[in-house]
Amino acid sequence: MKIGKKRMKKVILILTFFLLACFTLLAVDPVLPLEILEKQQEIKNFKVDVELVISTHAGQDSEFFFTYYYEEPDKIYLETDDFVLLPKEALKTMQPSFFQADKYSFNYLGKKEGLDILELIPLDKGEKYRLYLAIDSGNSIIRSGELFFQMANYREEFNAIIYFADIDGYALPVYIEGELAVPTKFAIGGEIKEYREGSFHLKLKDYAINIEFPEKIKKSLSSN
């Protein structure tokens, strides 16, 4: 069968475009986040001042102020006069150990606005969350993340967006906003019977990293 010159040129152009596209896909070098994530593990402890605002759909806003202390691998202490209610999953994102690379498998989802998007899938099947990170590979830092999670005894999935900043060479959260379910009614045994959906945001400032904690704080951390 003979193919005309014009048709042949079209076929060659299509094949050339196809091959270039294939080579471009093969050339994508998925970012391995291990170095960036493992750098977080250099943080042995820190303290940070936190402002928390919880808003419910009933139009009620509650403000809380506390100092958050962290000590590796997962000890935390909140210094406050308030009763602070927050999803433990949101609090976990403030801990460097949360980003320990060997806890996850990774999916590289491509680039968005110049940042590499990674999906982190917990290897522990008992964990009820999904995490996406936007990484600035050129500067080796996490810029933002989105966490999807479930609260205990609540079927619906919530999400939180985390914004990071470069603080002393580490990527640390400075603002977190998201959704949550606030318990409104408890059973006699303390079980939560009813929730009210709402939102929250956290502002974090005045980090102090790898410092010597006062004895009072050390005791509070060791008792947790």
pLDDT digits (tens, 9 = 90+) for 103-161: 899 899 999 999 999 999 999 988 888 899 999 988 889 999 999 987 666 677 888 89
Residues 32-51 have a mean pLDDT of 86
Query: Tokens for 150?
Result: 């479930």
- Predicted pLDDT of residue 20: 33
Per-residue confidence band for 14, with pLDDT thresholds at 50, 70 and 90: very low
- The reply to whether 115 and 162 lie within a common domain is yes
More confident residue, 79 or 57: 79
Question: What are 68's two structure tokens?
Answer: 């958050």
Same domain, 183 and 200: yes
φ, ψ of residue 187 to 5 degrees: the values are -80, 170
**CB burial string 136-171: b at 16+ within 10 A, e below:** bbeeebbbbbbbebebeeeeeebebebebbebeebb
pLDDT reported for residue 94: 80
Residues 151 and 184 in one domain: yes
**In the chain, which ranges are E strands?**
45-56, 61-71, 75-79, 104-112, 115-122, 129-136, 141-150, 157-167, 170-186, 192-209
Tell whether omega for the bond before 183 is within 30 degrees of 0, i.e. cis: no
Q: How many domains, the chain?
A: 2
Q: Same domain, yes or no, for 11 and 82?
A: no
Mean pLDDT throughout 67-78? 90
- 180-192: pLDDT as tens digits: 777 667 667 666 6
Share of the chain above pLDDT 90, in %: 35
CA angle in degrees (0–180, nearest 5) for 92-161-138: 95
Residue 164 confidence (pLDDT):
95
Torsion of CA 129, 101, 135, 65, to 10 degrees: 60
**Domain identity same for 147 and 107:** yes
Cα 173 to Cα 204: distance, rounded to the nearest angstrom: 7
Q: How confident is the model at residue 22 (pLDDT cuts 50, 70, 90)?
A: very low
Residue 163's pLDDT is: 95
Which residues, 6+ apart, have CB-to-CB distance to 62 below 8 Å? 53, 54
Structural domain of 24: 1-30
Cα gap 220→212, rounded to integer Å = 14
Q: Are residues 6 and 43 in the same domain?
A: no
CATH no. for residue 155? 2.50.20
CA gap 88, 94 in Å, rounded: 10
For residues 20 and 41, membership in a common domain is answered with no
Mean pLDDT over 91-112 rounds to 86
| Average pLDDT value over all residues in the chain | 79
Distance between CA atoms of 107 and 93, rounded to whole angstroms? Answer: 19
Same domain for 69 and 154? yes
**118 and 14 in one domain?**
no
Out of 10-19, 63-72, 87-96, least confident range:
10-19
- What pLDDT score was predicted for residue 49? 96
**In the chain, % of residues over pLDDT 70:** 73
**pLDDT higher for 25 or 112?**
112
Task: Please give the model's pTM, rounded to 2 decimal places.
Answer: 0.77
Amino acid occupying residue 43 = I
**Is the same domain home to 80 and 15?**
no
Torsion of CA 49, 55, 59, 63, to 10 degrees: -20
Task: Note the pLDDT of residue 174.
Answer: 95
